[in-house]
Structure 1
Amino acid sequence: MKPCKILRLYKLSHHRFLPFEFSRRHFSSLSHVPNQPSLPPPPPPSITPELINFSVKTAHWHFIKHISPNLTPALISSTLIHFRHSPDLVISFIQNIDRNSLTTECYCLAIAIASRQPSPKHALQLLKELINSCVSTHRGIFYGLVGARDALSISSWIVLDLLIREFCELKRGDEVMECFGLMKSMGVLPKIETCNCMLSMFVRLNMIDKAWDLYDEMFRLGISSNIFTFNMMINLMRKEGKLKKAEEFVGCMESLGFNPTVVTYNTIIYGYCVSGDSEGANRILETMRAKDIDPESYTYGVLINCMCQDGKIEEAATLLRKMEECGLVPTAVIYNNMIDGCCKNGDLEKAFDYRHQMEKKGIMPTVSTYNMLIHMLTLKGKISKADDMIKDMEAKKIFPDEITYNILINGYRNAGNAEKDFRLYDEMLSKGIEPTYVTYTSLINVLANGKRMKEADDLLAKVLEKGIRPDLVMFNALIGGHCADANIERALSLLNEMERMRITPDEVTYNSMMQGYCRAGKIEDAHRLLEGMSCRGIRPDYISFNSLICGYSKRGDMVDALSVRDEMLSLGMSLTRVAYNALIEGSCKHEGGCHAEGLLKEMVSKGINPDDSTYISLIKGVMNTG
């Protein structure tokens, strides 16, 4: 059938290019004559390469979509080859085809044609689709692209570079290296930009050995590095902590004719800052200046953060001034670092001063800015001022987050205001802010401190229902509360639950359990826990021993109490006033005070002054003896 005849038939059977069936029905209803039999509709034109090519050339994409389910891979491939010099049309054609109609061969032809565009965006997108469709292995795709390149008579191998780049984007290192190997076996080398993508992926994934292997292979194959390659290798050395080696590598760059950039030095400065070596970071800064490389905002930001972490606020302030003198505008992050440093140094006034400087320069404080200041206020017990900060935030349309609420809840918990804590919790929920395990841990602590253990257990159940995994701190709060409430059975069940969830108890857990046992008069059980701590590699502290000394002394088992005292001293631990008072009281009450005088002298010799409890026990002992 000739193209002109196809075109006439195509126009006749499509009113505004509607689908065949709709057009025939519409035409038949208008031309129907009553009492006269209707003629059978003409068959639709067959889908030929000529019809498809005409539709693509004239951009009749709705027609292509309509016939897409009926397109065979052979028809699609012939169309792609026909338009191999028109990548834009090929891309539009593929975008309007049902993906189920595309085979690996069709995809590879389309990718090879799309790779001839100035931008690789469409080729990479098609590669991602093909890889994720799992219709072919990575080797199948590789050889499919080789075949497509040959079929289209394309001289460039860029399509294989793009395949490696897409595997890099998908973080599939094994496929990357295998495709690299296949290219080498064909005598084709990837471009340096592709090699840089590979190196970048390995560096990001902390695959240090593979990055070095690739770099060595690049050198062996004679693939010339560029400044981006050198910068990535310096970043790799920074990750390894080999900062001196990184500095030497800069010298190698320069000997090869590559001048280090601000990024080169920023990487090394960041490495020194992360390792806590502010002197090393400052030395690199001076090297930059000596080579007329101007530091940028990032450079100063990293250094300022390093100084603040080291508590060197004055040095950080000097850098901030130098930064502004160079015409660089500090960011909110830099000011937040200054505020954080001042807060850690306990200088709340200076922290607020930096917040004021931010606003004066038109730099809007962030929620992190407020969180740091609110946290500092709660630590200093200035809860009402922390509330004022919340109002100030909301006035500036800066909304509190879960960290803000956690800080406030913890602050009010320390202040003993349980009612306010739960109001804040309800406020979080009403604003759609999801509480975190930190929130629930603070609330459980509030309930445990108030001996509201039924509510604490109910809250734990809610935490588990939400799929939040309780941590050690949360369990310790619950176990401590139940032990203080003399409910040792519930504390034991929680300890078993911890072990079921593979949360290792610590000395706080054991101390709470020991105190619970001692309160219940089960001193031997408490002593077994002390032995259990040692078996688990947890070193008992003075609280552990004090619990036993107090328990044995109260019960009158002075031999055992003094034995625990001796064990404590043999470990190089000093007794506290509480332990001495318990021993003196026990001796006076149960053995006529025979050890009381010696314990008092020992206590004073260690610089522990007796208090009222000590003298009351001694007086009672004398009276009982008399």
Structure 2
Amino acid sequence: MAEAIYQQFKRMGLNPNVYTYNLMLKVFCKKGDTKKADDVLTEMEKAGVKANEYTNGTIIEGLCSLQKTDLAYEILKQLRENNDPVDNFSYDMVVHGFCNENKLSEAEAVLLDIENQGLTPGEYSFGALIHAYCKRGNIQKAFCLESDMLSKGVKTNCFIVSSILQCIFSRGTFTDVLSQFKTYRDMGVFLDEVCYNIMINAMCKLGRGEAALELLEEMKHKNLVPDLIHYSTVINGYCLEGKLLDALNVYKEMKHKGIQPDLITYNILAGGFARKGLAKETLSFLDYMKTQGLTPDVATHNKIIEGFCLAGNVREAENYFKSLEEKHPDNYSAMINGYCEARHTLVALNLFVNLYKHGMFLKQTCWKLLSCLCIEGQVESAFDLFETLLVSEDYNCIKMYSKLMSALCNSGDIKKARWLFDNWINKGLKPDAIMYTIMINGFCKSNLMSEAWELLRAMKGNGILPDVVTFTVLLDGCLKSISMYSRSRPNIYLCEKATEFESEMSELQLKPDVACYTVLIDKRCKMNDIKDAIKLFKEMMDNGLQPDNVTYTALLSGCYRVHDVDTAETLFDAMTAQGLQPDQITRSLKSKLEHGILKAKKLQFTH
């Protein structure tokens, strides 16, 4: 329509102005028709119409939408050199374009360029980059960018907030979602329906259905309208908790408000009935679905099969599976997943192998099956399954490699673990920090410290920085090796290596977590340096970290070694006040120390 009017203008001999030309540029750029867009620019030049900021921004936006952001940025810089008008919008488009092309380093360079031009990057540029890092799962980088943004006086918005909340949620740290949501709410940031849905979902994952329902009410008070997704999320949360009646009540409320449930909602409820082991009611609900004009699909069947298995009603799941006239490969996957959930892992493996022999390779079930085999100590079966995957296709799942490597290391089969690690590298793939750490941990557990240190050097040589977990593993390995030597003459070289790792952590500005502090405290205790151990313990508490049973046990062991009964008594009191229950080792130490306290008091009395 716009193009037709434009052509009519020209036929009538009318001279378009800059706004008309800009409009046509926008139309052709959106269509991806670069030739016609170029023709418009040529016409503008011939007509003597000078381009303005909007013209230049439209050209840059068009190139970015065609994934030609490098060219768009070069044009932007050329325009700038020619003193042609360029506004923040053009920079925003370039940042967004680089993010869409997954060129995040280039996008960050543009942010710096914006500042060098005396401008402040806006929330659109920051938001695009934060969203891109969140999609990668790099929440630390996202937080750094957000902090930088806020320090420049740029306010956050619900798009940025939802990206961050979703990233945290996808990591499975649901309590962090809750605390971060509260932080934004306390800051007065407007939180939209998407933000609330992530929060509601996190509540449900934590088994807090009632709190999720309260959030729905909070939304209403803020004039936000809960939709089908919000209600379905709460229904799913109640079903996961086994609160089927509550789920049905929310379903009724939703219908009362005029929101029509879709197939996903009904599938959730069908799975809810099955998870309660209610076979007859599940089938009746399927009939009810049909009266509502919905036909059960593959996902419906999967929910029911897995639901019965989760309820421990494996036979009912098998009967339902057999009753299906047409079995989709996903239904077989659901049956295998169900067996795994019911801890019938070898039955799941047999079904997988039989299907594989008949030409059905269920790739999507492999991770679940492999994971369960590893957890249950069926490491040989897991390794055999993995070899099947390698034969079947070029299988490059780093999570699966890492899971099996970890299981092999834990079972003491360091050779097979190293074979897997080398197999990954031989494919031309790069191990990540987790994979390196698993292998280093395996070497440490097998007291192969030289191999662990060599792998650490290779890790750093390949540009992968060790994290807190890596250093914790190495420090723990050193300590365990030290303990194999005489307590009176600890291995000096191992002690020096442990100190070296501590220094390196400090240089990399890595803050110890609870596990790392525990290892560091244990090291001091084994060296009879109880004062430094207590100093670390206090530092840990000052940093907001709560010691666990293992931390207290390590420190109490140190107290026992140096006969520091007063500190031990204080630690026992602190442990009890924290609500921690002493384990067998701690109770044994307590008994020995109490004996020491009584003995000391007797000596004081006699003197």
Q: Under TM normalisation by the shorter chain, which class is it?
A: 0.5 to 0.7
Aligned pairs for 1:444-455 within 5 A:
444-455=200-211
Offset at residue 349 of structure 1 (A): 0.9
Is 1:600 matched with 2:354? yes
1:84-127 CA-to-partner distances (Å, cap 9, x unmatched) read xxxxxxxxxxxxxxxxxxxxxxxxxxxxxxxxxxxxxxxxxxxx
Equivalence for 1:295 = 51
Contact 2:242 2:275 survives alignment (8 Å): yes
Which ranges in structure 1 are unaligned for 5 or more consecutive residues? 1-236, 620-626
1:532 to 1:435, Cα distance in 2 relative to 1, 3 A: same
Equivalence for 2:428 = none
1:110-159 CA-to-partner distances (Å, cap 9, x unmatched) read xxxxxxxxxxxxxxxxxxxxxxxxxxxxxxxxxxxxxxxxxxxxxxxxxx
1:425-454 CA-to-partner distances (Å, cap 9, x unmatched) read 343344333433233222111111111222
Offset at residue 348 of structure 1 (A): 1.2
> In 2, Cα distance between the equivalents of 1:371 and 1:434?
15
Contact 1:558 1:583 survives alignment (8 Å): no
Tell me the secondary structure at the aligned position of residue 165 of structure 2: helix
Residue in structure 2 matching 1:567, options 312, 326, 337: 326
Which ranges in structure 2 are unaligned for 5 or more consecutive residues? 382-607
Is 1:462 matched with 2:218? yes
TM-score (norm 1): 0.51
Offset at residue 583 of structure 1 (A): 8.6
Contact 1:246 1:268 survives alignment (8 Å): no
Equivalence for 1:518 = 274
1:497 to 1:584, Cα distance in 2 relative to 1, 3 A: closer
Is 1:305 matched with 2:61? yes
Tell me the secondary structure at the aligned position of residue 567 of structure 1: coil
Aligned pairs for 1:425-436 within 5 A:
425-436=181-192
Equivalence for 1:25 = none
Equivalence for 1:555 = 315
Offset at residue 484 of structure 1 (A): 0.6
Equivalence for 1:267 = 23
1:387 to 1:576, Cα distance in 2 relative to 1, 3 A: same
> In 2, Cα distance between the equivalents of 1:527 and 1:433?
46
> In 1, Cα distance between the equivalents of 2:227 and 2:62?
31
Contact 2:156 2:189 survives alignment (8 Å): no
1:272 to 1:528, Cα distance in 2 relative to 1, 3 A: farther
Tell me the secondary structure at the aligned position of residue 606 of structure 1: coil
> In 1, Cα distance between the equivalents of 2:7 and 2:360?
56
Offset at residue 478 of structure 1 (A): 0.9
Offset at residue 519 of structure 1 (A): 0.7
Residue in structure 2 matching 1:483, options 239, 245, 269: 239
Offset at residue 516 of structure 1 (A): 1.0
Offset at residue 544 of structure 1 (A): 1.9
> In 2, Cα distance between the equivalents of 1:529 and 1:438?
30
1:62-84 CA-to-partner distances (Å, cap 9, x unmatched) read xxxxxxxxxxxxxxxxxxxxxxx
Equivalence for 2:255 = 499
Aligned pairs for 1:139-218 within 5 A:
none
Is 1:380 matched with 2:136? yes
1:591-624 CA-to-partner distances (Å, cap 9, x unmatched) read xx9xx8899247741333675679999x9xxxxx
Q: How many residues align?
A: 364
Contact 1:523 1:548 survives alignment (8 Å): no
> In 2, Cα distance between the equivalents of 1:330 and 1:482?
53
Contact 2:275 2:308 survives alignment (8 Å): no
Equivalence for 2:169 = 413
1:261 to 1:597, Cα distance in 2 relative to 1, 3 A: closer
Aligned-pair identity (%): 23
Equivalence for 1:87 = none
Offset at residue 455 of structure 1 (A): 1.8
> In 2, Cα distance between the equivalents of 1:316 and 1:344?
14
Letter in 2 for 1:251: K
1:364-419 CA-to-partner distances (Å, cap 9, x unmatched) read 11122222222222222222222222332233222333444333333333334444
> In 1, Cα distance between the equivalents of 2:212 and 2:42?
57
1:519 to 1:431, Cα distance in 2 relative to 1, 3 A: closer
1:467 to 1:396, Cα distance in 2 relative to 1, 3 A: closer
Equivalence for 2:523 = none
Offset at residue 353 of structure 1 (A): 1.2
> In 2, Cα distance between the equivalents of 1:510 and 1:478?
13
Equivalence for 1:335 = 91
1:417 to 1:285, Cα distance in 2 relative to 1, 3 A: same
Letter in 2 for 1:606: M
1:344 to 1:585, Cα distance in 2 relative to 1, 3 A: closer
1:368 to 1:548, Cα distance in 2 relative to 1, 3 A: same
Contact 2:321 2:335 survives alignment (8 Å): no
Equivalence for 1:73 = none
> In 2, Cα distance between the equivalents of 1:359 and 1:598?
57
Offset at residue 486 of structure 1 (A): 0.8
> In 2, Cα distance between the equivalents of 1:437 and 1:585?
33
Letter in 2 for 1:509: T
> In 2, Cα distance between the equivalents of 1:415 and 1:597?
31
> In 1, Cα distance between the equivalents of 2:282 and 2:154?
51
Offset at residue 471 of structure 1 (A): 1.9
Equivalence for 2:124 = 368
Offset at residue 574 of structure 1 (A): 5.0
Question: CA RMSD of the aligned region, Å?
Answer: 3.7
Residue in structure 2 matching 1:578, options 334, 353, 368: 334
Tell me the secondary structure at the aligned position of residue 605 of structure 1: coil
Equivalence for 1:253 = 12
Aligned pairs for 1:39-118 within 5 A:
none
Aligned pairs for 1:536-551 within 5 A:
542-550=298-306
Tell me the secondary structure at the aligned position of residue 60 of structure 2: helix
Offset at residue 342 of structure 1 (A): 1.6
| Further displaced range: 447-456 or 275-284 | 275-284
> In 2, Cα distance between the equivalents of 1:524 and 1:603?
35
Offset at residue 472 of structure 1 (A): 2.2
> In 2, Cα distance between the equivalents of 1:338 and 1:325?
17
> In 2, Cα distance between the equivalents of 1:306 and 1:357?
21
